[in-house]
Amino acid sequence: MTETIKLKSPIDGSIYAERPVATDQQVNAAVERARAAQVEWAKTSIATRGKYMLAMLEALVGMADEIVPEIAWQMGRPVRYGGEFGGVKERTQYMVEIAEKALAPVPASNPKDGFRRYVKKEPLGVVMVIAPWNYPYLTAVNTIVPALMAGSTVILKHAAQTLLVGERFAQAFEKAGLPKGVFQNIVLNHAQTERLLGSGKIDHVNFTGSVAGGRAIEKAAAGTFMTLGLELGGKDPAYVLPDAKMDHAIANLAEGAFFNSGQCCCGIERVYVHEKVYDDFVEGFIAESRNWTLGNPLDKDAVIGPMAQPRFADLIREQKAEALRKGATAHLNVKDERDQAGSPYLPAEVLTGVNHQMSVMREESFGPIVGVMKVRDDEEAIALMNDSPYGLTASIWTADTEHAVRIGDRVETGTVFMNRCDYLDPALVWTGVKDTGKGAALSAIGYDNLTRPKSYHLREKI
């Protein structure tokens, strides 16, 4: 019997899509096609590669009417948000725009008479992208576009929860006329993925997902010497200072905590508020959070949809119950008949009276729950922000830019925000520290991580 991957929709628990897992022969053939196609693709000019990427983008945007409800059915995000096209456009266009300069040879900094010396940035070869379900287009495009622009070929293995996204990318590239084998979408199970990574046939893998998943990737790739890009867990903090513009901080932190049902890599999961403004912040934050109401994601009025899978919602329920047992207070307490064990429907929640002995303040939640904690000063806030195994982003809310920089210099994180959160700027490198992973995406540095340096030391005068 042919093995299949079944996509169970969080909307109603039905099987929304089902696809056969590739056979080992099909996997090997895909890798061989990618390897063969890469030779000619690397000879293609960067300008021509860019035209293909922009044509793919145009084709993808042209599918919006189909893609938006597909996202809702696959992982639960409300249709009111219209998909991920804004970010996909911004990232694709920017990485195409900077490619010529970012991929240009780098001359030696100390010229020597009679010699030509420089470093070329060579494509890695075959790049595998293992993409997650929470932002299925945005996270995938972070590597797909720059890898292709750099002259590598790409094999995409998308999450089971968002099976159809890989097909949409494949359709868009086909409409763009991309040469055969340069981009391929493939359906694999975990065992096949591990075997492929351990085969030595893949030159680079980019994985976005859990810490456990990242460790499995590293283990599978051990001994192959392939390069890795790993964006793993997060527990992103915010610190609100007394001089913060309170209405702005409240509105943006609520969105940072609850957008996409809290299923954001850089979403806000814990908020530290200076004692001078704590009461005002909590009052306003609770009021603002009540606007983040739960609904059917196919309803244009729904603000929060179901979580992608029931087990994700159950984890949040366990974190909330533990926090309440240890003395925390829940402030929203929304009653919804769909909110029960084994259901992906989970209303937003705000907790106070929390501390770092509670899992909700230490362990990744990845859901619509946030703890708010009072702090005395910067020293306490910084210590608590760093009291985490993760480090993707941290946001600081203040009117004093230099103060924010001084705090940011001491926070163990990949990105420091001031007066904003939960955003990825393609001109800035996307990276993390500690258990959040390693590697870097986007910006010119992202290109450095998707190429290998090759030195040319040429004596022209003898």
Q: Which of 70, 84, 264, 265 is catalytic?
A: 265
Tell me if residue 265 is catalytic.
yes
Q: Which of 84, 231, 255, 269 is catalytic?
A: 231
Among 27, 315, 19, 57, smallest CA distance to 161 is for: 19
List CB contacts of 41: < 8 A, sequence separation 6 or more.
Answer: 49, 123, 148, 151, 152, 153, 179, 182
**Residue 339: Cβ-neighbour burial (10 angstroms; 0-12, 13-18, 19+):** middle
Tell me if residue 231 is catalytic.
yes
CA 70/CA 79 separation, integer angstroms = 9
The number of CA neighbours under 13 Å toward the Cβ of 113 is 0
Catalytic residues: 231, 265
